[in-house]
Structures are given as C-alpha cells and as structure tokens.
Structure 1
C-alpha cells in the first residue's frame, strides 16, 4: 500500500476529526480511509488516533507524526504544482479562511474571475468568524478584517473597510436619535465581541476623539448577525460597510451621528512567513488586491 496515500488519509482524518468527513474530502469511501489509517498504524507499530463511537482524536504520537508528515506532503504537492505551473497554468490547492459575512458576500465576487481564469486551481474555503490557527490548521491564506493582533504572520493590506454607526428607523423613532456621541451610552448597543475594547466606541469630529463607554447590551462574534439584529429594530451597532450597505440604500437602516467619523478597518491577506509562497497563492493575493482596490 502506498505510504503517501496512507499519509494523506491520516492527515485528512486528523483535519476533519472524522473518517467519514475525511472520505468526502478525499473522494474515498469511509471504509477505504479507515483501511489506509490502520495500515499506516500497523507499519508504524503505534496508535495514531483515539477512537470512540462518537469521536476521533489524535494520540500524542499522532500529533507528533502529523507535524512531521504535513510538510512532506506539502512539498510533494508543491513539486507537482511546480511542474504544471512551469507549463504556464496555475494549478494546485489553495486553503483559504475568511470571516463568514465577508466570505459569503464580497469575497466570492472577487474570487470568481480568478477561478474562471485558472480552472486547475483547487480552492478550499473555510468561513468562520472566530480566529483560526492558520499554520496549525494548514491554511495557505487568511482574510482578516480589523486591527491585527501581534503575530508572526505576514500581512498585506488589500483595502480599507469603513465602519458605519447605524440603526433601524423603527428603533430611532421609538428611542430617539442621538445628537452627541455620549448619548449612545443610554441606548441599546449591539457589539462585536471580537473588538479589543468591548465597551468603548470611538468617534471623531473636528479633530477631537470621543471615547464613548457604553454597555454592550447584546454581543456576537459576527458583524452580519449584529447588522440583521439592528435591522430588526433591536438597537444601534457599528458594522463594516459591506454588512449594511444594502440596508442603508433601501432605508432599512440609517446612519447615526453621520457627522462623526468612526474607525476604518483594514482588509488583510495573511500568510505564514516560514512557508514558501507558491505562485498560485501569490497570484491570488495580487488578484484580490486589484479587485478590492476598485
């Protein structure tokens, strides 16, 4: 049995924590994936997974083996892709992660021309609002929005994304329209709990910054969810423009304190510094930068 195929099956099971899901990823039956992993364990004379009827998890030896076989398989994939790319076409896998809202609205439209132009590129996109460990989980590229935390990752800014303070007319008609930033403290505030300072919104006008301390009445890790709650008349939120643009245009939301500026978030492409940046990933980053700069 081919060692490389058994290693690929092992990596897929480790990534999915499921033999069934690993089979779907690889296009193999669950039975065959299980056979590959058992064969690998027999050759190594060790147990790589703890198995129960409900879960699959790596043993300590399995975790150590995963760390060592991942770069081997990545290098093999790079060798295959290099040959194809030298023949003129971009080819091979790209694993990308992005926030759910952005990844299901703005990002697909930006990706579409690239994927049509390079049909041999295999995109695996994971949308999640919590932060993921890019290196540990094997991603080539992450799209992040907001202030970047200290990190060893390399970041390239793709575009600025304005934040908009807004609420539904229904809410503002019932509770009044704030005339000053500090009036926000008396309102229901819908807050993204990914932000660094959960209970402070910062607004600026006339060269002066106003740090508004409020009660984060309702919290969520998804700006899209907060925007929908605001549309429903629940309170005031600060949301990235892409999540509220259509609602503002239609009148379902309106700007609050429009004479004041809010923060502007950056949209960034992040990738590991110690991993060779393949031509296909570099081309995708350049493409996204061009698309968003419009």
Structure 2
C-alpha cells in the first residue's frame, strides 16, 4: 500500500463527502479510491467511514485520523516547497481567526502590507470573540488576547496588552478624580463582559468585581469595547479597556487615564497555531511578518 496515496484518497473522500466526487477530484477511478481507503482501514484496524446510499460520514476514529492525515499531507507539501520542487513563493489560502475589535482597529493595514509582500497568499479572516478550536474549525492561526493556558498548540507572543481605567474629562470634573480603587462609583462602571476573568486579582480588579456585583441593575455592561469606549467619552462613566482600543482617544484628550498606579497586570496578544515540525510557508511568513509589526511597546501605547 502506498500510504501517501491512501491518505490523499481518504482526505479527498472526507472533504468531498463521497467516493465518486473524490475520484473525480483526484482523477482516479472510483474503484481505486475505494481500494486505497479500505487498505488504510485495514492497516489502522479501524473503520474510518459510515457509508449510506447517498453520502459517507467520518466515524469518531475517522475524525481523529483526518486531522493527522491533513497535517501529514500539508507537511509533505511544505517539504517539497522548501526543497524547491514547488514554487519558493508563499502561496495558498491562509485562514485566520481574530478578536473583533482588535481586528477592525489594527488588522486592515497589516493585511494590506502583508499582501503587498506576498501576493500569492489569499486571506480568509474570520472575526469572533469566542475561543475558536483552531484544529477542528480549520484555521491556520488564531490571534488571542489574555493569559494562555497550556495546550498542544504553539503560541508566539506578538505584543503586550495594557489595561487602563479611563473616563472623560467632563465625567471627572462632575464626579471628581478617584484616588484609590475604592473611590470608583459602582453605578458608573462601564463593564466589558469578559475582561475581569483574565486580569488577575489586584486591588483594582477586586474593586471592579465588587462594583460589578453592586451595580448589575444600574450600570452598563457590554461585550464590545468600542461601545464602552464611546459611552465613556460621552461621560456615562469609567471603563477598564485595553489601550489598543482607547489609546487614540487618550492621546486626543477625549479620555483620561485614572488610577494608573493600580493598573492590572499586562496581558499579551498571541498567534496560536497547531504544532507542526514543518510550518506551511504561507503560515511561517505570516507569523514572521506579524511578530515584528506592532512593536514593543506597540504603536497604540504612544500616548504616554
């Protein structure tokens, strides 16, 4: 059995949902594709597909095998590329997952500059604030903010993420400038829904968690930092936000940083991708590009 041909046949059947379509894609006979898959099942001693009259479906073992097979075939393709058997230029579709607000504020120019250097790489950028499953959902790389838990994925730190409490000059003029976290008014807390859980247990965070509980019915809560920033600029209250969102407003004098000496622990933004001995060229050049793009300190912290 040619194991590479068998893996190619197996992945094609899984991707196309049937043996006939896989055979057309691979330009092979239906019988040969079926033979390759049967040989692979015999070699692995597991059933990879449940077959019906209309379509085939991966078994649980088949799902696991599919992930390994994709990585093996991609690594082989990358090896050929690096050895000069394919074009040396990075090419193919790069699937990226990124947080919504960070992407809308900072990824558009980055993607544009990356495409100028690597025009043969296509970009499929999906914005979502939930934690995506990079492997299961077919992403090449995901950008994540916070403290990363240990996993089988590789994480590369791209830039620090500072958190600051800020309010408009008008708000501070009306209500005074807090000197300690306990001075913060619970009913004026503009709360981002998920931020506190990953920001440590400092004195400031303890006060904000208390304010969240005390003001659930009177303050503003939202899962979008842009909206909370605009509410703070309008004088509705104070917000704890990353500087990649509020940095420009602070620099323009629309917001003032308060309680800087109590700032929570700095987080980070990371590029997270599956562990592979040989990265696809398109992913390797993207990781190298984005790693040096934002700077350290990043450009959005230029208001200090």
Q: Same fold (TM over 0.5)?
A: yes
Asked if the contact 1:168–1:230 (Cα under 8 Å) also holds between the matched residues in 2, the reply is: yes
Which structure 2 residues correspond to residues 36-185 of structure 1 after superposition, within 5 A?
Answer: 44-46=51-53, 61=58, 68-69=65-66, 72=69, 86=84, 87-184=87-184
Structure 1 or 2, whichever has the larger Rg, is: 2
**More off after superposition, 110-119 vs 84-93:** 84-93
Structure 2 counterpart of 1:29:
none
Structure 2 counterpart of 1:23:
none
Matched residue SS, 2:293: helix
Asked if the contact 1:170–1:233 (Cα under 8 Å) also holds between the matched residues in 2, the reply is: yes
Task: Output one character per residue of 1:246-274: Cα deviation in whole Å (capped at 9) or x when no partner.
Answer: 21122222111234433211111111225
Structure 1 counterpart of 2:232:
230
* C-alpha distance in structure 2 between counterparts of 1:92 and 1:199, whole Å: 37
Tell me the CA shift for residue 127 of structure 1: 0.8
Question: In the superposition, relative to structure 1, how do residues 190 and 276 fare at CA in structure 2: closer, same or farther (>3 Å)?
Answer: farther
* C-alpha distance in structure 2 between counterparts of 1:127 and 1:115, whole Å: 19
* C-alpha distance in structure 2 between counterparts of 1:287 and 1:89, whole Å: 15
Which structure 2 residues correspond to residues 251-270 of structure 1 after superposition, within 5 A?
Answer: 251-270=253-272
Which structure 2 residues correspond to residues 242-257 of structure 1 after superposition, within 5 A?
Answer: 242-257=244-259
* C-alpha distance in structure 1 between counterparts of 2:76 and 2:107, whole Å: 29
TM-score (norm 2): 0.68
> How many residues matched?
248
Asked if the contact 1:154–1:271 (Cα under 8 Å) also holds between the matched residues in 2, the reply is: yes
Structure 1 counterpart of 2:241:
239
Structure 2: 5+ residue stretches without partners? 1-8, 19-49, 213-218, 297-304
TM-score (norm 1): 0.70
Structure 1: 5+ residue stretches without partners? 12-42, 50-58, 205-209
Q: Which has the higher strand share?
A: 1
